[in-house]
Amino acid sequence: MIKVLFVCLGNICRSPMAEFVLKQMVAEKGLADNFEIDSAATEGYNEMCHAGIHHGTRQMLKSMHIPFEEHYSRRIRPHDYAYFDYILAMDDSNIEDIQSLVGMDTEHKIYRLLDFTDHPRNIKDPWYTGNFDRTYEDSVEGCRALLEKIKQEYDL
C-alpha cells in the first residue's frame, strides 16, 4: 500500500482538493487498491470547529465530476510522518509548519505537490485568492506528476 498525505494550512480548501483529484486519478487507472490517500492541516482551528470541505472546493469538484466524501479538518500528528510514504505540502510555509509539528524530514518524505512538475512552485491559497479554478488546475498538474513518479518508483 502506498500512503499519501496532502497537507495545507486549514485542510478545508487545497489539501482536500488534491486528495480527491488523486483518488479519482488512481481509480481511473485501476490503481485504487494500491493507495491510501488522506489530507491534514498544519493549524488546529478548523479541527476545533469540525470544519468540513470549503464550498469553493466542493463546487469545483462537483463541476469536474470528481467524487468526494465528507472530510473534517484534522491536524497532522507525529504518527503521520511514520505512517505515510509521501507528505505533500501546498507551499513553503506548510513545509516549515509540518517540520515544527513532526520533526525533521530524516526519511525525505516531505515535498511540495508541485515540486514534481516542470515548474516547481507553491499552490496559492484560495481562502485568500478566491481562485478555486487555479487550485484545481494546480492540483491536477501536481497529482499527474506525483503519480508518474510513484509509478516509476513502485513499478506500477
- Tell the residue number behind the cell numbers 487498491, with chain if given: 33
- Tell the residue number behind the cell numbers 467524487, with chain if given: 67
Active site (catalytic) residues = 8, 14, 125
* Between 91 and 116, CB nearer to ligand 4NP: 91
* Between 34 and 127, CB nearer to ligand 4NP: 127
Binding mask 49-88 for ligand 4NP (x = CB under 6 A): ----------------------------------------
* Between 52 and 105, CB nearer to ligand 4NP: 52
Q: Binders of ligand 4NP among 18-47, rule CB under 6 A?
A: 45-46
Member of 5, 6, 11, 86 binding ligand 4NP (CB under 6 A): 11
> Which strand ranges, in their side-by-side order, compose the sheet holding 86-89?
35-41, 2-8, 86-89, 110-112
Regarding 9 and contact with ligand 4NP (CB under 6 A), the answer is yes
Helix ranges (H only) for 1-156 are 14-28, 45-48, 55-63, 78-83, 92-102, 126-129, 132-154
d(CA 27, CA 33): 8
